[in-house]
Amino acid sequence: MKTIAGVNFTKITEQQQTAAKDIILEGFKEHFGFIDHTMNPDLNSIYRHYNKNGNAFYVGKIEDWIICTGAITKESKSIARIERMSVKKEYRRQGIARKMLFHLERQAEKMGYSKIVMETNKEWPSAINLYKTNGYTPFRRDNQRIHMLKQL
């Protein structure tokens, strides 16, 4: 277990899946006003889905409370993708998303990746700003998303 300024980051356990899923879905409901469960089949078994070769799912905890999530998935041999970054609403604006991002980047480096890509909704300026201020560069936009890249 690694502690960064009071937040402990660990790989998810089977017992933590429901709490992690709830954090992610709460964020979706906040942003979109509804939850479409058919759009997120990976959340039905986070532990199994994200514990494949080249992938990892992490939770951030303060004491025993899960307050944030983030995943690394294998895009290619040298490129990782950051997914499922979410922070419980009451813990936002405290630098926790940045700490999770740094943790994911360090883990991706340890896993042998040299680049990280990610995407976020183009209507979420706080998320876009988080990534831009931490070295991510936009490389593609579509109708709904902005895609960004960072060299590790």
| Average pLDDT value for the chain | 90
* Contact assessment for residue 53 and residue 79, using Cβ atoms and an 8 Å cutoff: no
What pLDDT is recorded for position 5?
58
Percent with pLDDT over 70 in the chain: 94
More confident: 72 or 38: 72
Q: Which of 35-49, 101-115, 116-130 bottoms out in mean pLDDT, i.e. has the lowest?
A: 35-49
Long-range contacts made by residues 16-25, C-beta under 8 angstroms, separation at least 24? 16/59, 16/66, 17/45, 17/46, 17/47, 19/59, 19/66, 20/46, 20/57, 20/59, 20/66, 20/69, 21/46, 23/66, 23/67, 23/68, 23/69, 23/86, 23/87, 23/88, 24/69, 24/84, 24/86
pLDDT tens sequence across 3-43:
455 899 999 999 999 999 999 988 877 776 667 777 788 89
User: What does the pLDDT average to over 123-144?
Assistant: 93
Say which residues have a Cβ less than 8 Å from residue 62's Cβ, sequence separation at least 6.
6, 7, 8, 91
This prediction's pTM: 0.89
Q: Quick one: fold of 2-151?
A: Aminopeptidase (3.40.630)
- Whole-number pLDDT of residue 120: 92
Q: Which amino acid is at 38?
A: T
pLDDT classification of 1: cutoffs 50, 70, 90:
very low
Token pair 């700003």 is found at: 129
pLDDT, greater one: 2 or 28:
28
What span, in angstroms and rounded, lies between the C-alpha atoms of 86 and 96?
Answer: 10
pLDDT confidence of residue 20 = 96
78-97: average pLDDT:
92
Answer for the pair 108, 151: CB distance below 8 angstroms, yes or no: no
